[in-house]
Structure formats: C-alpha cells, structure tokens
Amino acid sequence: MLLLNFFKIIFLLVGDFGGFILGLGTAIFIRYGFVFNGSLWRQSCYYFIPVFLIWLLIFFIFRLYELIYLANRKEFFERMAKISLINIISAVIYFYSVSFEYYRPSLVLVLTVFFSLLFVFLWRIIANKLLGLKKIKVVLKSIHPRAEELKQIIEKNPQLGYEINEGLNEDEKTIVIIDELDSEADTPYCRHLPLEEFYELICQKVSLDLISLNWFNEARQTNRIYYEVIKNVSDRIFGFLFFLVTLPLWPVIAFLIKIDSSGEIIYRSQRIGRNKKPFSIYKFRTMVEGANKIGPAWTEENDTRITRMGKFLRKTHLDELPQVLNIIKGDISFVGPRPEEEALTKLYEKEIPYYEYRFLMKPGVVGWAQINYPQSASLEDARKKYEYDLYYLKYRNLIFDFIIALKAWRIPLEIPTH
C-alpha cells in the first residue's frame, strides 16, 4: 500500500509539472504566435524550469502531495489559492532578483503564471477524481472506536482509494482490518491488517488506544546505529554553519528585546532530554520577566505575558535561534520531538500512557508533531501530539528527518491543514 501511495504521488507530481510546461507553451504561443522557434523555446525552458521545480517544492512543503488533504472540497481549493500566491511571489523574486539581468520575461511570466496555475487547478480536480476510481475494498471487523474513525475518514476522502465493504468477495482483492489479537491468516484474495497498522498508514500517527508494550519492543528493536551516528555528526556540522549565518541577527534582536521590556535577553528553561537527562534550553525571551510565576506552564492563545517584540519573534520563530547552541552541544537535534519543561513532563507521565518512552529519542527543534498539530494548550492537546511523536519513534530515518525539515518551512506561514 505504501508503494501504491508512492505511485499516486508521482502521478500527481508529473501532472503538475506537465501543467507548468503547458502553461509556458501557451504563454509563448500567445506572445509570439504560431511560428515555432526552437531557440526561443529552449531559452524559455532554461529559465522557467528552475521556477517550476521551486513550485513543486512549495507544493510538497504545503501538503499538496499528501492524499488525505486532496479531496475536492472548499478547504483544498482555498489552500491551492494561497499556495499559488506563494508560487507567484517566488517566480517574481527569481526573475527580478536572482535571474540574469538581461532576461526579464514580463509578459511571458505573467501569462505563464496564469495559465500554469489554471492548468494545474484543472488537473488537480480531474486527478483527485481519478485517484478514487480504482478503490481497494476494506472490511472493518474491529468494533474499536478507532475503526469507526477510520470508516469516516475513508468515506470523506475518496481520493485515498479505499472503499468500505460489509463483507468479503472472492472475486476482488480485499483488506480486512482486524484487532491486534486476531490470528486470521492472509488468503490469495484477502489480506489481513491489524487495526493499529492501518490506522498508522491512513492517519500517519499512532493511536495510544491501540498499542501495547509489544509495540514499543518492536519499535526499539530496529537497528539505527548508522542513522544515529550520521544524524549526530550532521547536526553539529550544520548547527555550526547555521550559527555563523544567523550570527549578524543576534545583536539586532537582543537590542530590540532590551528596549521593549526589562529582563534577560536569553531565556533559559530546564527541559528533559533523551534518557530523561535534564538540560537548559536557550531562547530569546518573548515574555515578561517572571512569566512562569504568573501563568500556566504552557502558552495560551492571546497570552498577555507575551511582549510586543515577543509576538514578532514567536510569529517568525526567530526566538528559537539560540537553540542552535543546544544543537552544537548535543542536547537536541534539528529534528525530533520538542523537549518539554520538567513540570509538564511529570504531569504528562502521570496522565498520558507510555509517555516515558518519549525519552528514547533525542528531542529536536521541530518534530513530526509540530508540523501536524497546533501548539499544545491543554493535556488533551499534549496527548494528541504525543501520538505523532510515537509515529516518528517508529519510522524515524534520515529521509523522514529531511522531509520534516522541509515541511517545517510552512510553520511560520501557518496555512491551515484541516
């Protein structure tokens, strides 16, 4: 099924790129007429293909290759419109500040942007329909509440390519979703999957209601020695480079914090890291001095403790720049579950099942939970984010880390995902 989803993503990507090329061809046709000029076409492709690759990357960052978000509904087209605006801005920046000075395709650029996005809009409407034509039959034998949740997700998202069946049919291949302890064997026309495995496939998170200690034993048995070594070395190398690149910003931010409110410039907070090792995390201060004594441990919406400069730093995530020092020291990684404060950690260990297994991983600046779920403001939010952290625990690898790092770029823009 993972391979099938991969081919679906390639199908969408090739269609998007084809829409961009068709848009460029249409623009050249309108601008220069019927006469085909091979040299003009090659020159246009030379300059526009890098833009198209940037557009595809932006599509990837903003979830346009995640099947769960691609149903032909209002939310999808609103997201497409917002992302198209980002694509337009990126094209203008490329041609008027990055590209060669003697090539300014003003009219061709305008026409290419218009027709490319028009063709891609039309392509996505058709493609989302096509993705749901050939459906895999699914029989839910489990009576667990998560099975009902999966049923609703499948029925609302035909582009996923699944269809709920009430019973088996030997004339067509079927997936039967069973409870973990069910021992039914696969047959030539029927594949049995544990409910927890199918839930992870569809939702890309782990349900705390479905797992047991055996789940963690299997997750821990995976040999990741080379992954850990490469990740630790790359963290320190890129951390040091990132520190050098961003260093000019530090005195500017420090000055603005100081004139905005009294208190320390760098805020130090005790966090719990891998194997429950405590460490101090560094951030630019965004709250009034002594904020932890006049409010809850987590930040609430419209929190009055946040300073004027703090709002800007949090919005742009510049407050997290000093964490690069923690990366260089080895306290945290670029990618991993966010480290929690000691007080919150003790609360979560009491209230959230299996929370102690979170400390099997080194924490990070950005994690799978951060790019899939909004900031925690309650115990229930923390529980839901932990389900994404467990998914990362099970499937973490260098490619997954790279994907998370790429998708983290959408966080400051906060385009809704639900």
pTM of the entire predicted model? 0.85
**Segments in the chain below pLDDT 70:** 1-2, 34-36, 98-105, 169-172, 180-189, 221-223, 290-302, 376, 412-418
What angle is formed at CA 119 by the lines to CA 157 and CA 158, rounded to 5 degrees? 10
Q: Are 70 and 13 in contact (CB under 8 A)?
A: no
Give the whole-angstrom CA distance, residue 194 versus residue 181.
8
CB atoms within 10 A of CB 314: 21
Neighbours of 414 (CB within 10 A): 9
End-to-end CA, the chain: 24
Residue-level pLDDT at 75: 85
Pairing of strands 278-284, 266-272: antiparallel
Between CA 388 and CA 208 the distance in angstroms is 10
Q: Are 119 and 23 within 8 A, CB to CB?
A: yes
Beta strands in 44-149 (DSSP E): 136-140
For residue 316, with 0-12 CB atoms within 10 Å meaning exposed, 13-18 middle and 19 or more buried, which class applies?
Answer: exposed
Output the six-digit token pair for 261: 């409110």
Per-residue pLDDT, 348? 92
Q: Which residues of 336-351 are buried (b: 16+ CB within 10 A; e: fewer)?
A: bbbbbbeebbebbbee
CA 266 – CA 288 distance, rounded (Å): 12
User: Is-contact 355 326, C-beta < 8 A?
Assistant: no
DSSP state of 340: P
Q: What is the pLDDT of residue 104?
A: 57
pLDDT of residue 143: 84
Structure token pair of residue 169? 């049919």
Q: What is the SS3 assignment for 269?
A: strand
Give the Cα separation of 330 and 273 in Å (integer): 10
Of 224, 187, 149, the closest CA to residue 395 belongs to 224
- How many C-beta atoms surround the C-beta of residue 305 within 10 A? 17
Structure token pair of residue 154: 């499948």
pLDDT of residue 398: 93
pLDDT at residue 239, as a whole number: 95
Please state the three-class secondary structure of 152-187 as a single string: HHHHHCHHHCEEEECCCCCCCCEEEEECCCCCCCCE
**The pLDDT value given to residue 114:** 92
pLDDT score at 231: 95
Alpha-carbon span 311 to 318, nearest angstrom: 10
Measured between alpha carbons, how far is 257 from 299 in angstroms, rounded to an integer? 19
Beta bridge partners of 282: 268
Hey, what are 65's tokens? Answer: 């290759």
pLDDT given for residue 418 in this prediction? 45
Per-residue confidence (pLDDT) for residue 291, from 0 to 100: 64
